[in-house]
Structure 1
């Protein structure tokens, strides 16, 4: 066994021991009363560990929870990056910015402020001690997690998915695993709501801002302001190190877009990658006005409205894929060879083209595999526009 594997095994063992101790301290036998969403008075949804794409996928469920539970006070525990998204939804009553790693006294303080709840949702596969302490303190009647080891989870929606870290799952088996949006809706179905009565459409955040986003964000268009010019966003950088394309692949995809279309190409970067993106474009595309890097965006609202203003989206498995799905933007999204992760998080929309790479590590992807998929996607755009 290599030193790396030995270290990884030690960390897994350490995490398992901590999880066992936390369960012994905080887990409990929850209510056996049948769940019914129509009589809920208070629901708490934990999203303090979530990102932009998670918020896009959670909002349809929260909207429907409000519709079937009109008297329920809905609280979302968020982080500062996504709080603005939840605050913009009028079907959410409270948004509390919750610390990522609260101390015990902080957890107890927040629990006291929440004053308990009927329904608690935290879709995480192995809850930490701080998470279990919060649940123990507010003592919900019904609890939904993805942690199969908990006694307190009495809704059991984990039965309809699989761990995204489970490497042994086959593609055939993954077909039985629900997408994250349908997994959430299964909570309502367990409460007696007929599947056909649930509105499964996305909630379009900040939709009123989108018509003015193009003129507002100069990087979305070429400096010449060519009449009728369309914009394609290319996002090659995912949230994890395994979901990032190499510079060589990025350059080849951009070349393909410049040669095969007359669209303006935006290399989408976050703050940490903006300088790298600017250098990559300067070194390889000179003063070509048809390519640009994402400008400075100061909030989740600006990020979403800028993304939603494009005409097509190409990228890796990350939040931009869900924004494109939400706003029905034609998109090409690349996924690693991980059946469980794909089944839960693929871009779910009629105009989404999802491509599964031969590898789980995007840095190992072959450039020809990417450019071939881009070429086919461009062809589909031409066909849909009648060209």
Structure 2
């Protein structure tokens, strides 16, 4: 309890430092690049999407914008600025140009100076904003910066519709700045090719469920103990469910231990070699995907796989990142005590999970 309290206090201090840095650097850099002139979007022929946080969920969603412009505005060249991991997905899914960068940091932002003036517009649609993004935009030096709800920051001289809360809708709203709205009604989330690349073993005759235990932070990950408890209880309550664990880099040994401890024919580690193609192929075949709030949700959304996901009790985050599959349910963790508090992903009511699972699969 003491350690948790100290961590909460440290996060609060870090957040105050970030706010102070943003305030200080804003005085120097947070200025309209057109000095109040009206941005001319009709003149835009080169756009950069700043996706430097290396978060795969964001990379998946920005594909909506890229695909729309490739289809309806091929005269505009779209480039994504991203570290290698997400760049690999974006390149395979869309074929667009990539500028590789190191992960988000002040040093990386300052390095963008070599691209100054290369782009007519830069898109950065995140909900939060700190001094690193501000430095990055200033160094890129585009005449137009497109953001979301950033009217308080003059460097963003174009803001998309504030009603576009979910990130897919944000990227569609950005596309509407350059394409006719009527053309975008059927725009889907592009994924990397996987059908021919991967062969799956034959799935069971039971209800087949893809399970992912790991989100992007330690608070969104099941421990080995908690994952074992969850699956053991699930097997007891639902004897017709077969679980296929999605392999995740650096977590394969943990998954093998869970399979060994449970020792049940209805629990399978689908492979000891993680790959995005394997995950997509499995998601395309199963009856249900169960996962924390992470990129697996958005891969399942792109494939319209029925999804049962665990989310923090954070209404804003849920609006921004909820599953988009036509069949989806959400299990909520307890609400955090304050903005600096954290709740672990496995803290939820088992009865809530049972009731929502039954909406997908009847015995």
TM-score, scaled to structure 1: 0.78
2:324 pairs with 1:348:
yes
Deviation sequence 1:220-267 (CA, Å, 0-9, x none): x56xxx6x6663201232212332346446534465357636453112
Look up the match of 2:64: 60
Look up the match of 1:213: 198
Aligned pair count? 348
- Of residues 76-85 and 291-300 in structure 1, the stretch that sits farther from structure 2 once superposed is 291-300
Candidates 264, 267, 271, aligned match of 2:249: 271
Q: Please tell me whether the aligned partners of residues 125 and 170 of structure 2 are also in contact (alpha carbons under 8 angstroms).
A: no
Look up the match of 1:168: none
Q: Please tell me whether the aligned partners of residues 39 and 157 of structure 2 are also in contact (alpha carbons under 8 angstroms).
A: no
2:262 pairs with 1:260:
no
Whole-angstrom CA distance in 2 between matches of 1:133 and 1:289? 54
Deviation sequence 1:340-376 (CA, Å, 0-9, x none): 0000000112122334444453232122322332233
Q: CA deviation at 1:300?
A: 3.7
2:221 pairs with 1:244:
yes
Look up the match of 1:49: 53
2:74 pairs with 1:70:
yes
Q: Please tell me whether the aligned partners of residues 42 and 72 of structure 1 are also in contact (alpha carbons under 8 angstroms).
A: yes
Look up the match of 1:119: 121
Distance 1:5 1:297, change over 3 A: closer
SS state at 1:364 partner: coil
Whole-angstrom CA distance in 1 between matches of 2:186 and 2:198? 27
SS state at 1:377 partner: coil
SS state at 2:25 partner: helix
Q: CA deviation at 1:58?
A: 1.4
Distance 1:250 1:319, change over 3 A: farther
Look up the match of 2:294: 318
Whole-angstrom CA distance in 2 between matches of 1:371 and 1:245? 18
Whole-angstrom CA distance in 2 between matches of 1:50 and 1:117? 21
Deviation sequence 1:79-124 (CA, Å, 0-9, x none): 22122211124451x11221114565x6555432464211101223
2:363 pairs with 1:363:
no
How do 1:181-192 residues align onto structure 2 when only pairs under 5 Å count?
A: 181-189=168-176, 191=177
Q: Please tell me whether the aligned partners of residues 226 and 346 of structure 2 are also in contact (alpha carbons under 8 angstroms).
A: no
Candidates 127, 130, 134, aligned match of 1:132: 134
Whole-angstrom CA distance in 1 between matches of 2:184 and 2:139? 32
SS state at 2:47 partner: strand
2:354 pairs with 1:377:
no
Whole-angstrom CA distance in 2 between matches of 1:212 and 1:322? 20
Q: Please tell me whether the aligned partners of residues 43 and 72 of structure 1 are also in contact (alpha carbons under 8 angstroms).
A: yes
SS state at 1:378 partner: coil
2:156 pairs with 1:180:
no
Q: CA deviation at 1:153?
A: 0.4
Whole-angstrom CA distance in 1 between matches of 2:312 and 2:123? 28
Distance 1:77 1:261, change over 3 A: farther
Candidates 31, 38, 42, aligned match of 1:33: 38
Distance 1:357 1:101, change over 3 A: closer
Q: Please tell me whether the aligned partners of residues 359 and 365 of structure 1 are also in contact (alpha carbons under 8 angstroms).
A: no
TM-score, scaled to structure 2: 0.82
Deviation sequence 1:149-189 (CA, Å, 0-9, x none): 421101223x62xxxxxxxxxxxxxxx66211112222233
Q: CA deviation at 1:297?
A: 3.5
Unaligned runs of 5+ in 2: 337-342
